[in-house]
C-alpha cells in the first residue's frame, strides 16, 4: 500500500478512535437519566463527575506523553479500551456517587486522555506537511462525539424516577468502546525514519515551517514567554466557549420561549456540529496562512460571533441566536487544532507528546468557564453579563496573540 494511502487510512482510524474517546464529553446528556433515578443527588454532586473527567483527562494525556517513548502507543490505546470498559461497567452498577466518580470520572476520564494523546501525537507525525489540517480532522471526531453519542444515548435511554435503562446503555457503550479501540489500536503506528524522511521531502514540511527545526524539551518550552502567552490565549477563548455551551439551552429558551424543546436541543447541538467543522477549516488554515494570521482570524471571529449573540438577546431574535451559535461554535473550533500545530511549529517533534499534553492543561483552567458563567447569571439574572465577559475574554486573548513571537534558540 502506498504511503499516501496508508497515512489517510491511519487518519480515518484515528477519527474513529477519538469519536469514541470523546464520548465522555456527552456527560450533560448522559447524566439526565441518572439525576432522575437518584433525586437525592444534587446537581453540583452530579456535575462533579465531569470535573473529575476533565482532571483525569489531562493526567491521562500527560502520563501517556511521558511513556510514549518507552511504551508502544498501541498499548496505550489498548489499555484505554480496558479502562473504558471497566469505567462504564462500574458506572452502570453505581449505587453511590463514589462509584460513579471512580467509574465514569476517574477511569473513563483517564482513558480518554490516553487515547487523545496517543492518536494526535502519533497520527499527526504522518502529516508533517499538513500538521494543522490533520489536527483539525482528528479533533473533528473528538469534538462531534458528544453530539453524536448524546443523540444516540437520549434516543435509547428514557429518563424518570425508578427508570434504570441508563445502566444498560452504559454497559453497552463500554462493550462497544472496548471492541472498537482494540481494533483501532492495531493502526496507531508511527512512521519509520525512512517513511518520515520521505514524507518530509515530498510534503516540504520544513519549507512550510509546520515543524520547528529545533526541538525544545518541556522544561525549556515552559520557560518561554510565547508558551505562556499562547496558554493564556487558549484558556481565555476556551473558557468563553464553555461558558456559552453551559448556558446555550437557557439562552435559546429565553429568546424563543415558544420554540419546541426538540428544536431548542437541535439548535444548541449546532454549536458542537460547527465546532467540528471549524476544527478542520482552521487546522488547514494554519498550514496555509501560518500561526499569526490564523490565530487573529479565530480571535476576531469569536468576538464578532459573541457580538451577534448580544444583539440577538437584546432583540429577542431567534434566527440571530441560531446564527450566533453557529458562528461561535465555528470560531471556538479553531482553538484545539491550533494547540497541536502551535506546539509542533514552535517547539518541534521530538518531545511533542509531552509538550502537547502540557498545552492541553489549559482545559483544566478553562473548565471553570461554565462555573463563572453560572455565577454571573445568578448575580445579574441575565445572560448578557456572560456575553460581556466573553467579549472581554476575547479582547484579552487578542492582546496575548499579538505579543507571541517564535522563541529564539539560546
Contact 201, 104 (CB under 8 A): no
Q: Do 269 and 289 fall into the same domain?
A: yes
Q: Do 196 and 228 fall into the same domain?
A: no
The x, y and z cell numbers of residue 25, run together, are 464529553
- Decide if 253 is inside a domain: yes
- Decide if 410 is inside a domain: no
Write down which residue in 201, 224, 251 finishes a domain.
201
Q: What is the pLDDT of residue 367?
A: 77
151 Cβ contact partners less than 8 Å away, ≥ 6 residues apart: 269
Instruction: Tell me which residue of 242, 380, 395, 248 sits closest to 324, measured CA to CA.
Output: 248
157 Cβ contact partners less than 8 Å away, ≥ 6 residues apart: 33, 165, 166, 169
Q: What are all long-range contacts of 3-12, with beta carbons under 8 Å and residues at least 24 apart?
A: 3/195, 3/198, 3/199, 6/126, 7/126, 7/127, 7/191, 7/199, 9/187, 10/123, 10/126, 10/187, 10/188, 10/189, 11/123, 11/126, 11/127, 11/134, 11/137, 11/138
| Greatest Cα-to-Cα distance within the chain, rounded to the nearest angstrom | 65
pTM attached to this predicted model: 0.80
Q: Do 124 and 222 fall into the same domain?
A: no
Alpha-carbon distance 317 to 17, whole Å? 39
Q: Do 197 and 213 fall into the same domain?
A: no
Q: Do 54 and 191 fall into the same domain?
A: yes
Write down which residue in 144, 177, 201 finishes a domain.
201
Q: What is the pLDDT of residue 206?
A: 47
Phi, psi of 93 (to 5 degrees): -105, 5
Q: Do 215 and 188 fall into the same domain?
A: no
Cβ neighbour number for residue 72 with a 10 Å cutoff: 16
Alpha-carbon distance 286 to 303, whole Å? 19
What's the domain range around 24?
Answer: 3-201
Q: What is the pLDDT of residue 207?
A: 45
Alpha-carbon distance 283 to 133, whole Å? 4
The x, y and z cell numbers of residue 312, run together, are 440577538
Q: What is the CATH number of the domain that holds 164?
A: 1.20.1250.20
- Decide if 49 is inside a domain: yes
Q: Do 374 and 351 fall into the same domain?
A: yes
Instruction: Tell me which residue of 154, 181, 401, 150 sits closest to 291, measured CA to CA.
Output: 401
Q: What is the pLDDT of residue 136?
A: 87
Write down which residue in 151, 173, 201 finishes a domain.
201
Q: Do 9 and 154 fall into the same domain?
A: yes
Q: What is the pLDDT of residue 169?
A: 92
- Decide if 132 is inside a domain: yes
Cβ neighbour number for residue 145 with a 10 Å cutoff: 22
Contact 242, 261 (CB under 8 A): no
Q: How many domains in the chain?
A: 2
In terms of DSSP H, where are the helices of 93-164? Answer: 97-100, 109-123, 131-156
Q: What is the pLDDT of residue 258?
A: 85
Q: Do 75 and 155 fall into the same domain?
A: yes
Q: What is the pLDDT of residue 202?
A: 60
Q: Do 167 and 23 fall into the same domain?
A: yes
Q: What percent helix, strand, coil does the chain show, rounded to 5?
A: 80, 0, 20
- Decide if 77 is inside a domain: yes
Q: Do 136 and 260 fall into the same domain?
A: no
Q: Which residues of the chain have pLDDT under 50?
A: 205-208
- Decide if 15 is inside a domain: yes
Instruction: Tell me which residue of 77, 48, 45, 44 sits closest to 60, measured CA to CA.
Output: 77
- Decide if 107 is inside a domain: yes
- Decide if 408 is inside a domain: no
Q: Do 187 and 239 fall into the same domain?
A: no
pLDDT digits (tens, 9 = 90+) for 274-319: 888 898 899 889 888 888 999 999 999 999 999 999 999 999 999 9
Amino acid at each position: 500500500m502506498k504511503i499516501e494511502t496508508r497515512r489517510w487510512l491511519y487518519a480515518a482510524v484515528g477519527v474513529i478512535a477519538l469519536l469514541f474517546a470523546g464520548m465522555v464529553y456527552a456527560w450533560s446528556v448522559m447524566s439526565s437519566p441518572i439525576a432522575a433515578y437518584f433525586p437525592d443527588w444534587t446537581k453540583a454532586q452530579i456535575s462533579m463527575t465531569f470535573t473529575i473527567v476533565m482532571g483525569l483527562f489531562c493526567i491521562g494525556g500527560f502520563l501517556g506523553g511521558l511513556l510514549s517513548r518507552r511504551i508502544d502507543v498501541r498499548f496505550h490505546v489498548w489499555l484505554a479500551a480496558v479502562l473504558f470498559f471497566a469505567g462504564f461497567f462500574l458506572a452502570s452498577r453505581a449505587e453511590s456517587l463514589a462509584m460513579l466518580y471512580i467509574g465514569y470520572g476517574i477511569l473513563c476520564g483517564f482513558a480518554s486522555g490516553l487515547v487523545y494523546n496517543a492518536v494526535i501525537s502519533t497520527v499527526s507525525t504522518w502529516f508533517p506537511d499538513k500538521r494543522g489540517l490533520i489536527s483539525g480532522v482528528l479533533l473533528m471526531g473528538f469534538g462531534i462525539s458528544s453530539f453524536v453519542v448524546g443523540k444516540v444515548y437520549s434516543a435509547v435511554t428514557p429518563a424518570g424516577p425508578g427508570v434504570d435503562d441508563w445502566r444498560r446503555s452504559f454497559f453497552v457503550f463500554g462493550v462497544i468502546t472496548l471492541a472498537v479501540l482494540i481494533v483501532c489500536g492495531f493502526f496507531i503506528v508511527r512512521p519509520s525514519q525512512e517513511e518520515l524522511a520521505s514524507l518530509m521531502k515530498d510534503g516540504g514540511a520544513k519549507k512550510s515551517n509546520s515543524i520547528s527545526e529545533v526541538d525544545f524539551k518541556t522544561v525549556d518550552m515552559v520557560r518561554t514567554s510565547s508558551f505562556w502567552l499562547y496558554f493564556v490565549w487558549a484558556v481565555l477563548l476556551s473558557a468563553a466557549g464553555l461558558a456559552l455551551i453551559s448556558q446555550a439551552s437557557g439562552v435559546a429558551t429565553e429568546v424563543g420561549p415558544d420554540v419546541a424543546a426538540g428544536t431548542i436541543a437541535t439548535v444548541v447541538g449546532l454549536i458542537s456540529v460547527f465546532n467540528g467543522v471549524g476544527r478542520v477549516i482552521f487546522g488547514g488554515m494554519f498550514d496555509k496562512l501560518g500561526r499569526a494570521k490564523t490565530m487573529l482570524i479565530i480571535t476576531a471571529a469569536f468576538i464578532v460571533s459573541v457580538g451577534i449573540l448580544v444583539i440577538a438577546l437584546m432583540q429577542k431574535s431567534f434566527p440571530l441566536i441560531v446564527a450566533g451559535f453557529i458562528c461561535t461554535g465555528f470560531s471556538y473550533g479553531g482553538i484545539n487544532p491550533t494547540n497541536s500545530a502551535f506546539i509542533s511549529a514552535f517547539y518541534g517533534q521530538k518531545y511533542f507528546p509531552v509538550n502537547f499534553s502540557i498545552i492541553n492543561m489549559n482545559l483544566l483552567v478553562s473548565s471553570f468557564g461554565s462555573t463563572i458563567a453560572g455565577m454571573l447569571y445568578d448575580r445579574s439574572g441575565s445572560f448578557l453579563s456572560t456575553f460581556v465577559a466573553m467579549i472581554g475574554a476575547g479582547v484579552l486573548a487578542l492582546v496575548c496573540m499579538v505579543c507571541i513571537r517564535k522563541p529564539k534558540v539560546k
